[in-house]
Structure 1
């Protein structure tokens, strides 16, 4: 026995032995992470076998690089490679926990636009067990440091090193062949990164993603006008006429787009501890002059909020990897809602209590044609006003109202809320409902921030009513994406009062609210299936603006005989009849998995699958190749980004000049007086700030004079400096 132990130790004291130990430890660690940190949807013997095997080829290939190096440097190189690949695994563990997806080069390339305020979220996501992905690196370093294993400085024949590389290549080829046998078209037709990792491994996925990113860059450079032909043919063939009954019913009205951060449909009419979580939104949902959609789904990918904005205002899908706003928002050509509305005589403005650069909004909004972007620097600093990703909703919406009242009418104004954002922190002074008791810390604070958001909406709607804007405006509320991911199934099951929560339940859980509220509108709850891609055509029809000729992949949600297949970014879909999740199909009405499809069912789901993959592919072609630079609809003027400036002093000067010219703002309609005294909030941060209220009202009123200043501009210095502290 002692002799066997001596032989084993002697083996590990060789370069080959240390290499084998490093590979084995990394393989074990990776397989453990696959099983415990990701939800890859592995089923069947073949997929389980591939999950066991797929870490080995790339690990042997990468670690084998060290075998080409002699002496101590070989060991150091192996440890560095181990540490770097472990760091990549660690980053993906954290990212996947929040977004149920893997990191991409496109995401990293655009990371500067989303890096602000992420530290709180990362700390909330992190778990102690995550650090175990570095345990193999620590073990190897300790074994060498305490001379349990000694470095073997004898050279290894290059032929042997080449043999190890060839072995890795052979193993990967076998892995790929087995994967294609189980999933044909794995690398050519899939829209879901989980499949690549499940079949080929995380490192192979990283290479695959890198190749795709490089191909996308080359594709844009080589694009030509004729590339648009297939897009135009498809859209013409599949265009559905909008609902004529609703055409132009909101013509000339102001438009509010209220972005409900991370807000899911299940919150409507949901009660916790005997209390309505969202009473104000519940009331709006059921009012007779609100069009409410209860089968409306978010369709975002990695871009999350930015994807939702892209779809809502362009009727183009987000990218399969990364964020279109971040990566292409500065350089691409768009024909977005703000530009369309602007050319119809509307003043357009986006209002957000976060930093302007987040998701590259300060550049993308220029490409979209927003006249104004009132971001964080425009708002007066109030103690404890900032939370995570921006100013708390009650404080933000109150101050945003001060700019809204100055906008020449009609206007198109988007307000982006942020308080209901992961990790759902809310100070005790603002808590007015108890946390849920699922035991999941990520989930239990969700109702508190949702309730706070609802209260902010109630205050804003009360102001609209007092000022009369409720009579002259169409207000669109929408949830941008899920608030609770599929990684919290047990907690969600408890919230919904279900015994379990499977993949089908999770697909249905992706419903988010869409409500279109307007005085005199023929409303009601509409059960059509639709998604964010459909909102722009719907709004345009209500305003009496034809979308014929525009490159939009959605359709009017009120149109008769519209196709109700809702595409998810990964290629899955839901419809009133069938739902596709991965390689499984379900009866949407019953939730029953269809394990053996009839011929009629197969034809139906094949047609839906083909529609989804076609639309995603064509939309990706338009965005990745920047094809809109080659095509301009009749009556539309191409956006010139140089026409826009969101520098505070210049923007306020422009706003003043526009108001002087038009004299149609709410302040003008109110005899030159601000309406801010009509805006009531119970935000505790405002308690005792009479000086703020008075100065804000006074300076807002002065906007109708030649001074051209507001309280926000007068406080910009404190606001800018406070960014550094927060």
Structure 2
């Protein structure tokens, strides 16, 4: 027995023994993470086998680099490679927990645009077991430091090191071949990163993503004018006639786009602790002059809010990796809502209570043609005025209103709220409802921030009425993306009073509010299935603006020809009949899995799948190749970014000059600001009146 123990110890005292120990430990922790930290949707023995095998080839290849080194350097390099790959795994564990996706180079490149207060979110989702991904590294360091394993300084033959590298390549080839036998077109037809990690592993996914990122850069440089033809032909062939009854009913009206951060449809009419969480939005939702959609879905990818804005104002999908606003917002050509509205006689403005660089908005909005962009430095500041990702909603809406009343009418104004943002924290003085009791910290604070957002909407709508804007404005409310991810299944099930919460439920959970409120509008709750990609065509028809020649992948939600196939960014979809999640199909009405498709069902699902895949591909081509630079619709002028500046001094001077037109609310009220009432406790403590503080007249001195 001693002899066997001695031999084992002797093996691990060799560099080859240490190498295989490092490989074994790294494989074990990676496989553990796959099983416990991600939801990869593994089904069947082949996928189980691939999940177990896929960490080995890339780990052999990476750790094998150390075998080319001599002496102590070989051990140090092995530990460094282990540390770097463990950090990458750890980062993906945290990111996946909230976003059900993996990190990409495009996302990392744009991380500076969303880094404000990001640390709060990270520490909020971190769990003690996450640190197990560093356990193998700690074991190796301890073994070396305590001399339980000794460093073997003898050189290893280069041909052996080369043999390990070759073995890694052969194993990866076998892995790829097995993966393709289970899922053909894995690397060419997959919109979901879960598939690549499930079949090839996290490290291989990283390489695939890097290649795709580099290819996208080259693609844009090599694109030519004729590349837009396939997009135009598809859109022409699938053109949807807008609803004639609603065409132009909002012609000449002001347009408000109210961005409800992380706000999900289930909150409408939802009660907790004996009270409505969102009474103001509930009232608007059910009013006779509000068009409300109860089957409206968010369709965002990794870009989340940025993707929602891209779809809302361009009818183009966000990218499969990262944020298009970050990667392409500065350089690409767009046919966006602000430019369209501007060229139809509208003043356009956006307001956001954070820094202008967030999601690269300061550059993207110039590309989209926004006349004004009011950000953090335009608004008042004070102790506890901010939470999470910017100015608290009540303070923001009040201050934004004082710029809105200076805009020449008609105007198009987007107001982006932020308080109802993960991690859903709110100071005690603003809490007016108790937390829910699911036991999940991410979920339980959600009703508190949602109620606060709703109160800010109530105050803003009161101001609209007092200003008279309610009579000549169309107010659009939309939820940008989910607030609670599918990784909180137990808590969501308890919150909704369900016994369980599966992948089908999560697909249906992607509903967000979409409401169009206007005095005299023929409203009601509309059950049509649609998503954020459909907003722009719907609004343009209501405004009487023809959109026949624009490159838009959505269609008028009110049209009888509207396709009710709602595409998700990963290639899944929802229709009134069927729901696709990965490779599983459900009956949308019952939620039951369809195990054996009839020929009729298969034909319908194949048609929907083809539509989703085609439109995502074509939209990606438009974005990745910047194809709109080659095509200008009749009557539309390309945006010249140099025409726009969001410098505060220049903007205020421009607004002051604009008052001479006499069409703004402020001008019509002879320069007297319309009082805005808010109960925001921060303003009372700061000594500010709860009514208007004449921000518009004093802001130039800030």
Which TM-score band applies after superposition, normalised by the shorter structure? over 0.9
| Number of the residue aligned with 1:681 | 678
1:375-425 C-alpha deviation (Å, 9 max, x unpaired): 001001122100010000001000111100111111000000000000000
Counterparts of 1:113-512 in structure 2 under 5 Å?
Answer: 113-512=113-512
1:323-366 C-alpha deviation (Å, 9 max, x unpaired): 00011100001110000001111010000001110000000000
CA distance in 1, matches of 2:63, 2:686: 63
CA distance in 1, matches of 2:132, 2:692: 55
Please state how far the C-alpha of 1:139 moved relative to its aligned partner: 0.9
Query: What's the secondary structure of 2:517's corresponding residue?
Result: strand
Query: What's the secondary structure of 2:488's corresponding residue?
Result: helix
Query: What's the secondary structure of 2:506's corresponding residue?
Result: helix
2:700 to 702, 706, 713: 713
Please state how far the C-alpha of 1:711 moved relative to its aligned partner: 2.9
Counterparts in 2 of 1:276 and 1:191: CA distance versus 1, 3 Å: same
Q: Does 1:10 align with 2:7?
A: no
CA distance in 1, matches of 2:439, 2:117: 26
| Number of the residue aligned with 1:720 | none
Residues 314 and 337, structure 1, Cα contact 8 Å, conserved in 2: yes
Query: What's the secondary structure of 1:294's corresponding residue?
Result: strand
Please state how far the C-alpha of 1:3 moved relative to its aligned partner: 1.3
Q: Does 1:622 align with 2:619?
A: no
Please state how far the C-alpha of 1:129 moved relative to its aligned partner: 1.3
Please state how far the C-alpha of 1:659 moved relative to its aligned partner: 2.2
Residues 312 and 533, structure 1, Cα contact 8 Å, conserved in 2: yes
1:108-128 C-alpha deviation (Å, 9 max, x unpaired): 111221112211111111111
Residues 380 and 711, structure 1, Cα contact 8 Å, conserved in 2: no
| Number of the residue aligned with 2:107 | 107
CA distance in 2, matches of 1:218, 1:712: 45
Residues 383 and 682, structure 2, Cα contact 8 Å, conserved in 1: yes
Residues 473 and 518, structure 2, Cα contact 8 Å, conserved in 1: yes
CA distance in 2, matches of 1:142, 1:652: 63
CA distance in 1, matches of 2:402, 2:561: 43
Please state how far the C-alpha of 1:184 moved relative to its aligned partner: 1.0
Residues 433 and 447, structure 2, Cα contact 8 Å, conserved in 1: yes
CA distance in 1, matches of 2:9, 2:399: 70
Q: Does 1:602 align with 2:587?
A: no
Please state how far the C-alpha of 1:670 moved relative to its aligned partner: 1.2
CA distance in 2, matches of 1:3, 1:695: 87
Please state how far the C-alpha of 1:671 moved relative to its aligned partner: 2.1
Structure 1 residue runs without a partner (length 5+): 701-709, 716-726
1:196-229 C-alpha deviation (Å, 9 max, x unpaired): 0011100000000001111100000000010000
Please state how far the C-alpha of 1:688 moved relative to its aligned partner: 4.7
Query: What's the secondary structure of 2:469's corresponding residue?
Result: coil
Please state how far the C-alpha of 1:692 moved relative to its aligned partner: 5.7
Please state how far the C-alpha of 1:690 moved relative to its aligned partner: 4.9
Query: What's the secondary structure of 1:570's corresponding residue?
Result: coil
| Number of the residue aligned with 1:587 | 587
Q: Does 1:667 align with 2:666?
A: yes
| Number of the residue aligned with 1:723 | none
CA distance in 1, matches of 2:186, 2:604: 22
Query: What's the secondary structure of 2:545's corresponding residue?
Result: coil
1:444-484 C-alpha deviation (Å, 9 max, x unpaired): 00000000000000000010011111101000000000000
Query: What's the secondary structure of 1:102's corresponding residue?
Result: coil
CA distance in 1, matches of 2:127, 2:316: 36
CA distance in 2, matches of 1:141, 1:564: 57
CA distance in 2, matches of 1:671, 1:102: 55
CA distance in 2, matches of 1:603, 1:555: 23
Residues 680 and 690, structure 2, Cα contact 8 Å, conserved in 1: no
Please state how far the C-alpha of 1:306 moved relative to its aligned partner: 0.1
| Number of the residue aligned with 1:47 | 47
Please state how far the C-alpha of 1:658 moved relative to its aligned partner: 2.0
Query: What's the secondary structure of 2:33's corresponding residue?
Result: helix
| Number of the residue aligned with 1:96 | 96
CA distance in 1, matches of 2:574, 2:626: 29
CA distance in 1, matches of 2:127, 2:355: 28
CA distance in 2, matches of 1:575, 1:688: 51
Residues 695 and 711, structure 1, Cα contact 8 Å, conserved in 2: no
CA distance in 2, matches of 1:104, 1:688: 44
Structure 2 residue runs without a partner (length 5+): none
CA distance in 1, matches of 2:226, 2:684: 61
Residues 333 and 629, structure 1, Cα contact 8 Å, conserved in 2: yes
| Number of the residue aligned with 1:32 | 32
Please state how far the C-alpha of 1:691 moved relative to its aligned partner: 4.7
CA distance in 1, matches of 2:330, 2:403: 25
1:696 to 679, 688, 693: 693
CA distance in 2, matches of 1:421, 1:480: 11
Query: What's the secondary structure of 1:459's corresponding residue?
Result: helix
Please state how far the C-alpha of 1:689 moved relative to its aligned partner: 4.5
CA distance in 2, matches of 1:261, 1:672: 33
CA distance in 2, matches of 1:691, 1:355: 23
Residues 678 and 691, structure 2, Cα contact 8 Å, conserved in 1: no
Q: How well do the aligned residues superpose, as a CA RMSD in angstroms?
A: 1.0
* Mean CA deviation greater in 112-121 or 354-363: 112-121
1:621-663 C-alpha deviation (Å, 9 max, x unpaired): 0000000001001000110000000111011111112222x11
CA distance in 2, matches of 1:262, 1:116: 17
Residues 351 and 414, structure 2, Cα contact 8 Å, conserved in 1: yes
Query: What's the secondary structure of 1:527's corresponding residue?
Result: strand
Q: Please, what TM-score do these two structures have when normalized by structure 2?
A: 0.99
1:105-157 C-alpha deviation (Å, 9 max, x unpaired): 11111122111221111111111111111111111111111111111111111
1:43-76 C-alpha deviation (Å, 9 max, x unpaired): 1111111111111110001000111111111111
Residues 258 and 475, structure 1, Cα contact 8 Å, conserved in 2: yes
CA distance in 1, matches of 2:527, 2:106: 36
| Number of the residue aligned with 2:642 | 642
Query: What's the secondary structure of 2:187's corresponding residue?
Result: helix
* Mean CA deviation greater in 47-56 or 310-319: 47-56
Please state how far the C-alpha of 1:96 moved relative to its aligned partner: 0.6
Q: Please, what TM-score do these two structures have when normalized by structure 1?
A: 0.96
Query: What's the secondary structure of 2:475's corresponding residue?
Result: strand
Please state how far the C-alpha of 1:93 moved relative to its aligned partner: 0.7
